[in-house]
Amino acid sequence: MKLNPTVVYDTYWHFAAKRQALYERRLIDLEGPWTDDQILQRYRFTNVFRAADRVSQYLIREVQYREDRSQAPDELFFRTLLFKIFNKIETWEAIEDRLGRISWQSFDVDAVDALLDAAMASGTKIYSAAYIMPAPRLGRVRKHSNHLALLLRMMCDGLPGCITGAGSLEAVYRALLAYDGLGPFLAYQYAIDLNYSQMIDFDENDFVVAGPGALDGIAKCFEDGAKLPAREVIEHMVAVQKAEFSDRDLPFDGLFGRSMTLIDAQNVFCEISKYARVAHPEIVGANNRTRIKQSYRPAGKSPEPPFFPPSWGLSVPAMQRPRLRSGVQGWLFQ
């Protein structure tokens, strides 16, 4: 595979270093500013490492590893998929506030369906805008009703057992992709989300699926990038990351020592697709978008201390043991 980089390729590495530095500074400095990059100051970009993003952090800490939640595979799968279908913290918390602790064993689908009906009737958005969520065709009128029916079908089909018995991350992806309403990118995202839990523990460098944003980023980083095999390009970025950061004299220690994996390099391609709309407006890419829709707005509160899958074994500075279920090891910032 021959790669002919454009100017955006160089920006890819500078963006990754600056965005990660911003993340690290914000953990220890609540006031800011956290970067002198005017584009990063003005617009919203996800973290370099997917697991460090706010919604992923909530999933890992509160939905998957919270000490009072069951670690049984059926329960982990059910909670993870229910949360990720809507991908919105407020939706998850509304269900638990009104109907009690979410559990597969006690789940009342009709009550949840009615609660979400009422939320929508009041003008509340129950889905995140992060993903395009097509409705599976399962005979229900409302989109969320079809998604609840899809989740019940997965449970009744024994999909959690299939996932825990899968031999690879790609096998997990294939099992999810078989269900109506889950396209390639969404099935891959769900596979990664399940891989954060104790259900499975595959190497994130085993498999990757590029989303539309990443494909556009690849098209901007390389001449004829739209024709390149996306998986091989992303694998290349993971393989050369240390050399590329070093050659540019860019400080980048990864996520507390963890290098970018395929999902993270894919993630940065998606973000550089947006960043380049301002930094390199002359580079058109594959989707011809010229504006960044989401401006940065301060959250108004300090970020939660980070927590990552214990199997990653990250050494986080200034650490203390979190209050997790007995036997689960992990670390949080003080």
**42, 81: one domain:** no
Output the pLDDT for position 158: 98
**Can you tell me the distance from the alpha carbon of 219 to that of 203, in angstroms, rounded to the nearest whole number?**
27
What's the pLDDT tens digit per position in 191-213? Answer: 999 999 999 999 999 999 999 99
DSSP-derived 3-state class of residue 295: strand
Question: Residues 204, 334: one domain?
Answer: yes
Report field, pTM of the whole predicted structure over 0.85: yes
The pLDDT score that the predictor gives to residue 130 is 75
Among 170, 196, 222, where does a domain finish? 196
Same domain, 132 and 145: yes
Confidence of residue 291 (pLDDT cuts 50, 70, 90): low
The residue out of 146, 179, 196 marking a domain boundary is 196
- Over residues 239-262, the pLDDT tens digits come to 999 999 999 999 999 999 999 999
Question: Which stretch of 44-58, 248-262, 276-290 has the lowest confidence by average pLDDT?
Answer: 276-290
Question: Is residue 96 domain-shared with residue 133, that is, in the same domain?
Answer: yes
Q: Is the pLDDT of residue 138 over 90?
A: no
Same domain, 205 and 333: yes
Check whether 296 has a pLDDT greater than 70: no
151 in the same domain as 97: yes
**pLDDT at position 315, please?**
80
157-to-153, 161, 178 alpha-carbon distances in Å: 6, 9, 12
What's the pLDDT band for 323 if we cut at 50, 70, 90?
very low
Counting the structural domains of the chain, the total is 2
Same domain, 130 and 42: no
* Residue with more model confidence, 284 or 62: 62
Examine the domain organization and report whether 22 and 72 are in the same domain: no
Output the pLDDT for position 303: 67
Say yes or no: 203 and 192 in one domain. Answer: no
DSSP β-ladder status, 319-320 and 332-333: antiparallel
pLDDT at 29: 78
Residues 333 and 276 in one domain: yes
Q: Are residues 57 and 84 in the same domain?
A: no
CA distance 96 to 262: 34
Question: Residue 300's pLDDT band (boundaries 50, 70, 90)?
Answer: low
Domain check: are 279 and 299 in the same one?
yes
Domain boundary among the residues 196, 223, 244 is at 196
- pLDDT at residue 297, as a whole number: 63
Of the ranges 3-17, 100-114, 274-288, which one carries the lowest mean pLDDT score? Answer: 274-288
Omega within 30 of 0 (cis) for the link into 212: no
Q: Which domain holds residue 42?
A: 1-65+198-334
Among 161, 131, 162, 163, residue whose Cα is nearest residue 147? 131
